């Protein structure tokens, strides 16, 4: 069997899309939001709820996908949606899932499958609310946390987070003659770190809303049928924060993946499956990706070289390439 | 005989239990659907007991040990949003760690009930009681009620759910109790039957605001200046309506359980002809009542008011109860540094309520029992004497402080034992 056949069997209940032509036409995230042109985070919203369908409840943590997304009287959400605090994403999903389970068990509401989804940004879910997301992944509730990562606090004027890439200019990390590189942290390895640390979590994936086609939506479907708590980390090109023309959002997402900078994988019951295997493909030089964005215009050759060496190390030297930065200590023992 | 039969149906048992046991029994009897725990002294006894109820098969609820108080209170808030009855709790600095979720629970108008086992805030560390933790939600749209016995803790928790979930209110409610003095002291309490409780407490129904696929609402979207004032005003009106709902709830509680809560907002002890009235919240009531009794034996016209509900504040009722008093002594188990007249929180609330009173009694403040220090019967007797004899300029008194070499200045006087 090919891996795609295996995947179909494994997620038989997920009703995965096999062609863009059988993606539902009905929208559950519709007009009313005020996100920017070329906003991929908005696409992350639209696609997850389309994949999940109408029997779904959603919480959104504070972030650009709250403030720009859900204005009073013009909500785009066709499913029930509620705000949760910046660091409240994980616990909000626990609260809903626990409440629904108790009410169904006690016969207070109809017993049925209701998807429980929280989305939090890189600041809310990846930094402040990381403990709460961790707590959600420690439970046995059926819930999905989506961390939509546009690599900055995009609502508050593009400030650096721990998921902002090395060297990127943000309002918190400007460049200047005394300090060319202000943000000197390498991006937090979020999805893999969550997959490794949570024994109850059967499904963790990274994704990009636009590429490869259907990949993200099918990952949402898998996450919702895996059983127990699950996590998807999406990389969302952001024209405003990354400083590029909105028409290039799709292309930038593709380049992030094809350069190997953003590894695309799913971890199913502890097994790593690359959904784009950057080991086997000829990787596009990272410079091609970086040079298309205004936030890296201050880079000099040594910055590009550092980036490339980090990416190469990730795919060539890590024990689990692109996923876990461990280098086989146990093998060395004898 | 009929009364006896009725009694049998109302109560299932009588047991020796702490204040936290009282709340735990009420949470079980209220058929709470979700509760979330995180450890901090001294409130935790309630979660220990609830967990044991689950382990013993006596209680059916989803039980989550959270990752911190912020997460714990977010869990409670969102469980409540899908229509599940939720319970949480904390103490001191833990309650403050949850503060963001506390504020949002109130502005979302979700009727979560929480226990606050009052504890001094850090730093420096102290396990003992101080009321500042619970008082910090006083302006946010939480109802706050102090209890002083295990029975009152049990009864009030049931009442708290009833009032909080009332469609006219839909506000969260904090049941506060003195850390140590009530969380860890045991009293006899009568535990009602589930049947009797279900006669008093209807099913929780969030109505049109419930998060369920059959009811696709968007809750708490971004409003900005367009709608913020109107929404704040709705919350304000709900808080105003709460008093009427509380009155009704106690009346029905009395009729179902045969209890004798005459005034929900405060208990009056020998106040009718009292010239000096002491006001306090929580377990200080025990010492205060004995102090009043002793002075009454000597023919002194003194009384005591144990304030139960701090939010909503019983302004009219207090004005009426103090309409004949010449002097009021307020016991503040809290601090409010740099506030009006440098008095405590309760002092300024009481004084503000009395501003519109035809009879404006002298109001004297006693900062006492901070960090869990005992407030003794003699302390209260001394407070009453100080209230009667101190010049009007000396309004704020710290009770039982250690001697120090440099004297206090201005209106701040130290009462020494």
Give residue-wise pLDDT tens across range B29-48. Answer: 999 999 999 999 999 999 99
Let me know: does A209 contact A331? Beta carbons within 8 Å. no
State whether B170 and B299 are in the same domain. Answer: no
> How far apart, in Å, are the Cα atoms of B225 and each of A35, A298, B105, B229, B335?
19, 39, 21, 7, 34
For chains A and B, count residue pairs whose Cβ atoms are closer than 8 Å: 160
B82 and A92 in contact by Cβ < 8 A? Answer: no
Contacts of A77 in chain B (CB under 8 A): 216, 218
Q: Name the residue ranges covered by the structural domains of chain A.
A: 3-332
What tokens appear for A313 in the block? Answer: 């190390």
Positions of chain A with pLDDT lower than 50, given as ranges: 1, 334
- pLDDT tens digit sequence for A170-205: 999 999 999 999 999 999 999 999 999 999 999 999
Report the pLDDT value the prediction gives residue B2, as an integer from 0 to 100: 46
Where does a domain end: B193, B224, B257?
Answer: B257
* B251 and B273 within one domain: no
Q: Compute the distance between CA of residue A146 and CA of residue A127 in angstroms, rounded to an integer.
A: 14
Give the range of the structural domain holding residue B173, as residue numbers without chain letter: 8-257
Q: Name chain B contacts of A95, Cβ cutoff 8 Å.
A: 34, 36, 74-82, 86
- Indicate the fold that domain A3-332 takes in CATH: Rossmann fold (3.40.50)
Question: H/E element holding B63?
Answer: strand B62-65
Domain assignment present for B290 = yes
CA B388/CA B375 separation, integer angstroms: 19
Task: Determine the pLDDT at residue A276.
Answer: 97
Domain shared by B271 and B248, yes or no: no
CB-closest option in B62, B68, B76 to A101 = B62
Q: What is the CATH number of the domain that holds B411?
A: 3.40.50.920
Residue B316's SS3 state is: helix
- Across chain B, how many H-helices and E-strands are there? 14, 17
CB contacts, 8 Å: B61 with chain A: 102
Residue B287 and residue B227 in one domain:
no
Kindly report the backbone phi and psi dihedral angles of residue B319, in degrees, each rounded to the nearest multiple of 5, phi listed first. Answer: -55, -45
Selecting from B71, B221, B226 the residue whose C-beta is nearest the C-beta of A83 gives: B221
Q: At B237, which CATH number?
A: 3.40.50.970
Strand ranges in chain A using DSSP code E only, listed in sequence order: 56-61, 81-84, 115-121, 143-149, 203-207, 229-235, 264-268, 271-276
Q: How far apart are CA A57 and CA B400, in angstroms?
A: 55
B2 within a domain of the structure (yes/no): no
Q: Is residue B126 part of a domain?
A: yes
pLDDT tens per residue across span A295-322: 999 999 999 999 999 999 999 999 999 9
Tell me what the pLDDT averaged over chain B comes to.
95
Q: Which site among B218, B224, B225, B229 would you substitute to test the A interface, given the most A Cβ atoms closer than 10 Å to its Cβ?
A: B218
Task: Check residue B408 and give its pLDDT.
Answer: 53
Taking the C-alpha atoms of residue A293 and residue A201, their distance in angstroms, rounded to an integer, is 35
DSSP per position, B326-352: SEEEEEESS--TT-GGG--HHHHHHHH
B348 in a domain, yes or no? yes
* Cβ pair A163, A138 in contact under 8 A: no
Residues of A whose CB is below 8 A from B216: 77-80
pLDDT at B3 over 90: no
Q: Is residue B1 part of a domain?
A: no
Nearest CA among B236, B109, B100 for reference residue B164: B109
**pLDDT tens-digit series, residues B224-234:** 899 999 999 99
The reply to whether B111 and B154 lie within a common domain is yes
pLDDT confidence of residue B1: 42
Are residue B239 and residue B277 in the same domain, yes or no? no
Residue that finishes a domain, picked among B224, B257, B290: B257
| Residue B312: closest CA among B166, B205, B210, B183 | B166
Beta-strand pair B173-178/B113-118: parallel
Element (H, E) at B278: strand B276-280
Q: What is the mean pLDDT of residues B289-297?
A: 98
pLDDT at residue A326, as a whole number: 83
Q: Is the ipTM of this complex over 0.90?
A: yes
Domain end marker among B257, B276, B310? B257
Q: Tell if the pTM clears 0.80, that is, is over it.
A: yes
User: CA of B216, closest CA in chain A: separation in Å?
Assistant: 4
Same-domain check for residues B279 and B209: no
- Shortest CA distance from B103: residue in chain A: A85
Mark yes or no for CB contact B33/A108 under 8 Å. yes
When divided into structural domains, chain B yields a total of 2
> Mind listing the pLDDT tens digit for each residue in B296-351?
999 999 999 999 999 999 999 999 999 999 999 999 999 999 999 999 999 999 99
Interface mutation vs chain B, best among A74, A76, A98, most B CBs within 10 Å: A98
User: B230 and B107, same structural domain?
Assistant: yes
Q: Which of B59, B79, B230 to mutate to test the interface with A (most CBs of A within 10 A)?
A: B79
- Check: CB of residue A222 under 8 Å from CB of residue A11: yes
The SS3 assignment for B9 reads: helix
State how far the Cα of B80 lies from the Cα of B28, in Å rounded to an integer: 16
CB B277 within 8 A of CB B326: no
Give the separation between CA B46 and CA B182, rounded to whole angstroms: 12
Query: Which residues in chain B have their CB less than 8 angstroms from residue A82's CB?
Result: 78, 81, 211, 218-220
Tokens coding A137: 């992944």
Question: Would you say B217 and B211 are in contact if contact means Cβ atoms under 8 Å apart?
Answer: yes
Record: contact A95-B82, CB cut-off 8 A:
yes
SS3 A15: coil
The torsion angles phi and psi of B279, rounded to 5 degrees, stand at -125, 135
Residue B2 vs residues B7, B160, B166, B194, B260: alpha-carbon distances, Å: 8, 30, 32, 20, 19
pLDDT tier at B414, thresholds 50, 70, 90: low
Start-to-end CA span in chain B (Å): 53
Beta carbons within 10 angstroms of residue B23's beta carbon: 34
A81 interaction partners in chain B (CB closer than 8 Å): 217-219
CB contact under 8 A, B221 and A101: no
Answer whether B77 sits within 8 Å of A95, measured CB to CB: yes
**Measured between CA atoms, how close is A70 to chain B, in angstroms?**
5
Q: Which residues of B touch A (CB under 8 A)?
A: 31, 33-34, 36, 60-62, 64, 66-68, 70-72, 74-84, 86, 100-101, 104, 203, 211-213, 215-223, 226-227
pLDDT of res. B405: 55
B247 and B339 belong to one structural domain: no
Percent of chain B clearing pLDDT 90 (strictly above): 93
Nearest to A95 among B74, B217, B223 (CB): B74
């Amino acid at each position: 069997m090919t891996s795609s056949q295996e995947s179909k069997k494994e997620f038989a209940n997920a009703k995965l899309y096999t062609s863009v032509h059988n993606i539902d036409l009905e929208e559950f995230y519709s007009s009313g939001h005020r996100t920017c042109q070329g906003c991929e985070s908005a696409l992350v919203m639209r696609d997850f709820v389309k994949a999940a369908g109408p029997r779904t409840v959603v919480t959104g943590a504070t972030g650009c996908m709250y403030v720009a997304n859900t204005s009073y009287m013009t909500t785009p959400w066709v499913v029930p949606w509620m705000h949760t605090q910046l660091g409240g994403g994980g616990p909000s999903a626990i609260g809903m899932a626990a409440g629904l389970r108790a009410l169904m068990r006690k016969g207070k509401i109809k017993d049925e499958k209701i998807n429980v989804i929280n989305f939090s940004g890189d600041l809310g879910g990846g930094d402040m609310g990381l403990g709460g997301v961790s707590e959600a992944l420690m439970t046995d509730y059926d819930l999905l946390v989506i961390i939509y990562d546009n690599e900055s606090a995009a609502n508050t004027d593009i400030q650096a987070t721990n998921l902002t890439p090395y060297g990127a200019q943000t309002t918190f990390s400007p460049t200047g003659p005394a300090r060319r590189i202000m943000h000197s942290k390498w991006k937090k390895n979020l999805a893999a770190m969550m997959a490794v640390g949570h024994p109850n979590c059967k499904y963790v994936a990274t994704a990009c809303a636009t590429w490869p086609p259907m990949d993200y939506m099918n990952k949402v479907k898998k996450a919702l049928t895996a059983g127990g708590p699950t996590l998807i980390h999406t990389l969302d090109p952001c024209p405003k924060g990354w400083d590029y023309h909105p028409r290039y959002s799709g292309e930038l997402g593709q380049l992030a993946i094809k350069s190997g900078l953003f590894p695309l994988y799913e971890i199913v019951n502890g097994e790593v499956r690359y959904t784009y295997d950057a080991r086997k493909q000829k990787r596009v030089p990272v410079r091609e990706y970086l040079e298309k964005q205004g936030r890296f215009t201050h880079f000099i050759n040594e910055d590009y070289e550092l980036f490339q060496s980090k990416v190469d190390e990730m795919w060539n030297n890590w024990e689990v390439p692109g996923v876990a930065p461990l280098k086989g200590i146990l093998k060395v023992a004898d | 005989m009929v009364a006896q039969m009725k009694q049998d149906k109302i109560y299932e048992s009588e047991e020796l239990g702490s204040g936290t046991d009282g709340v735990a029994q009420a949470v079980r009897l209220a058929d709470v659907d979700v509760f979330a725990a995180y450890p901090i002294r001294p409130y935790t006894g309630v979660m220990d007991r609830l967990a044991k109820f689950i382990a013993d098969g006596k209680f059916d609820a989803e039980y989550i040990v959270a990752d911190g108080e912020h997460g714990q209170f977010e869990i409670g808030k969102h469980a409540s949003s899908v229509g599940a009855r939720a319970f949480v709790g904390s103490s001191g600095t833990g309650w403050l760690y949850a503060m963001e979720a506390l504020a949002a629970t109130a502005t979302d108008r979700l009727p979560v009930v929480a226990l606050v086992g009052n504890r001094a805030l850090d730093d420096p560390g102290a396990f003992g009681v101080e009321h500042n933790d619970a008082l910090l939600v006083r302006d946010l749209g939480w109802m706050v009620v102090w209890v002083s016995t295990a029975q009152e803790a049990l009864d009030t928790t049931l009442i708290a759910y009833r009032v909080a979930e009332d469609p006219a209110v839909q506000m969260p409610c904090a049941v506060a109790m003195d850390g140590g003095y009530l969380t860890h002291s045991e009293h006899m309490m009568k535990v009602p039957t589930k049947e009797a409780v279900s006669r008093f407490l209807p099913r929780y129904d969030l109505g049109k605001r419930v998060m369920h696929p059959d009811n696709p609402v968007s809750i708490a979207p971004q409003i900005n200046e367009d709608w913020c004032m109107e929404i704040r005003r709705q919350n304000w009106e709900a808080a105003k309506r709460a008093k009427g709902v509380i009155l009704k709830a106690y009346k029905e509680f009395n009729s179902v359980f045969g209890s004798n809560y005459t005034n929900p907002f405060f208990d009056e002890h020998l106040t009718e002809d009292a010239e000096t009235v002491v006001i306090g919240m929580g377990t200080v009531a025990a010492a205060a009542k004995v102090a009043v009794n002793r002075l009454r034996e000597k023919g002194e016209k003194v009384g005591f008011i144990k304030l139960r509900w701090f939010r909503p504040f019983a302004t009219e009722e207090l004005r009426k109860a103090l309409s004949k008093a010449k002097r009021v002594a307020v016991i503040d188990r809290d601090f409010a540094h740099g506030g009006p007249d440098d008095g405590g929180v309760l002092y300024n609330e009481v004084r503000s309520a009395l501003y519109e009173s035809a009879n404006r009694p002298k109001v004297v403040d006693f900062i006492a029992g901070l960090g869990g220090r005992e407030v003794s019967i003699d302390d209260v007797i001394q407070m009453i004497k100080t209230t009667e004899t101190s010049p009007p300029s000396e309004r704020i008194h710290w009770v039982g402080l250690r001697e120090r070499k440099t004297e206090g200045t201005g209106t701040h006087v130290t009462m020494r034992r």
